[in-house]
Amino acid sequence: MTSRTFKWRAAILALLLFPLCSQLLHAQKEKDPLNDDEVDQIREVRDQPVQRIKLYQKFIEERIATIKQLGPNPKAEDRKAELRAKLEEFTRLSDELQDNLDTFDEAHADIRKALKDLVPASAKWPEIITQAGTDPSYDFPRKTALDAAQSTSEQAKKLQESQQKYFAEHKDEANKNGTGPT
């Protein structure tokens, strides 16, 4: 194969792959449950575990409020699509929150203040998701969100107990940030 033939084939291949790559990048961007402002807020508190957890809780609560509002309202415009999107966002945000909880736990960051609010709030999430009702168009995202809600609630409760015990034994490490995700 000559150099010229190789260049032509490479150019054609690049032209064929470009639309596919751009679609994948666009789809990846759409899957981020946080908007640009929320991403900036998370970045600003990257070294403040308590504030970071509170932000994730706030963002999750916003999605929960929308789910709660859309659930019983069959007349809402694009209800099924919007409910599906909010359930998917809830699941991804819950996963992000759990990843942060794991990281802060491993680093022994004192996040008891954030857990004090998170534990009772997260205990309510499964019920709200259940109240959204069932529909084939969003049944899988609803089940996934329900699993994420239950898992987050359980993890927060266990971590709160673990933190109380750990910091009772390690008083000198109380109120310290540890090392969290960046």
| Per-residue pLDDT at 57 | 98
pLDDT, one tens digit per residue, over 88-102 is 999 999 999 999 999
In this prediction, residues 148-166 reach a mean pLDDT of: 97
What's the pLDDT band for 134 if we cut at 50, 70, 90?
A: confident
pTM of the model: 0.79
- HSE, CB side, 13 Å, CA atoms: give it for residue 46: 6
In this prediction, residues 148-174 reach a mean pLDDT of: 93
Cβ-proximal residues to 86 (8 Å cutoff; 6+ apart), any chain: 63, 66, 67, 70
| Per-residue pLDDT at 26 | 41
Please provide the average confidence, as pLDDT, over all residues in the chain.
Answer: 86
